[in-house]
Amino acid sequence: MPELTAGQSINKALSLILEKNQTAFLAGEDIGIYGGAFGVTEGLLEEFGSERIKDTPISEDVIAGLAVGASMTGSRPIVEMQFSDFIVNAMDPIVNQAAKLHFMYGGAVNVPIVVRGASGAGTGAAAQHSQSLESWFCHVPGLKVVTPSNAQNAYDLLLSSFVDPNPVIFMEHKLIYKVKDNVTLNPIPKDSSYLGKASVAQEGTDLTVVSYSNMVNVVKEAVSMDELQNYSIEIVDLQTVSPIDFETIKNSLIKTKKLLVCQEAPSNSSVGTTVVSKVVESDLFNVLEIAPKLVSGLHSPMPSAKHLESTVIPQKEDILNAIQDML
């Protein structure tokens, strides 16, 4: 079981996919010779050649359009948006084509594409390179949205995304790229049933914290602080934010009776507000002993200065304070 960063585990998954499936190819800006802006595709050009590792122009619209067309004619493209912020330039081929064509052609066409993108803040990259835009795609029927939090689930979720017959948006938070973990290099699964399933990252009985992406790691730091050592906190890692695994959330809340949701994205029309509203409008409302709480990023463009950036995105101290208020 090798120790890998999430960036390395994604590289391993991509290499396995390309080795085992000859219809698969990668495309994106600087993914070949340069190895990707974050080094995730390093070495793949040398291993598989330029026919399958395609450097593209700086045009997200072209990259996504290439993926849609290739997938409809039998290929399995995995394309990279160097920064997920600029996926906005590819909204038409993703939202109006990839997400719709299976439905509009009466099931005669599948669009099995994976769109990878580096997301999130914490690197001082400022307002245009630090956003968490996953909720945009959660609004679109026909898309699945995946948000790994560590090296192991990044590997497993990418393999499952590849075998899914639907278009998948795969959001890779920049801060998980360098975090190491022991990774089991599982084979490519026969189906994508792993998508849409949350993981209980830590079991507990006093309170449920639901989170996803890198914020799961911030939550873990918060609950390990000395102030909470006498409490039992359960952490649910959504892993996939569309669809959301409400069954795992339900089972946790029946046990803990308290819900805190933590996310880096602003709260407006977000994953976190969806979780809270679904819980409140269901029978679980009668189970809760206290009103649910959401800790989220501020509704603000992201500053580049480190001391300002940290005021916009939740820190472990913010999560600690929220937990203490609920216990």
Catalytic residues: 60, 129
Residue 60 CB neighbours (<10 A)? 28
Question: Helix 215-223 crosses helix 316-326 at what angle (to 10 degrees)?
Answer: 60
Q: Which residues contact 24 (CB under 8 A, 6 or more apart)?
A: 17, 18, 52, 75, 76, 77, 78, 162
Q: How far apart are CA 162 and CA 77, in angstroms?
A: 9
Q: How far apart are CA 223 and CA 48, in angstroms?
A: 44
Residue 176 CB neighbours (<10 A)? 26
Let me know: does 38 contact 177? Beta carbons within 8 Å: yes
Taken in order 252, 265, 118, 90, the sign of the CA dihedral is positive
Q: Which residues contact 276 (CB under 8 A, 6 or more apart)?
A: 259, 261, 292, 294
Let me know: does 173 contact 109? Beta carbons within 8 Å: no
Peptide bond connecting 77 to the previous residue in cis, omega within 30 degrees of 0: no
Which amino acid type is present at position 266? P
User: What are phi and psi for residue 180, nearest 5 degrees?
Assistant: -90, 150
**How does strand 180-182 pair with strand 3-5?**
antiparallel
Q: Which residues contact 72 (CB under 8 A, 6 or more apart)?
A: 101, 109, 110, 111
Q: How far apart are CA 216 and CA 205, in angstroms?
A: 18
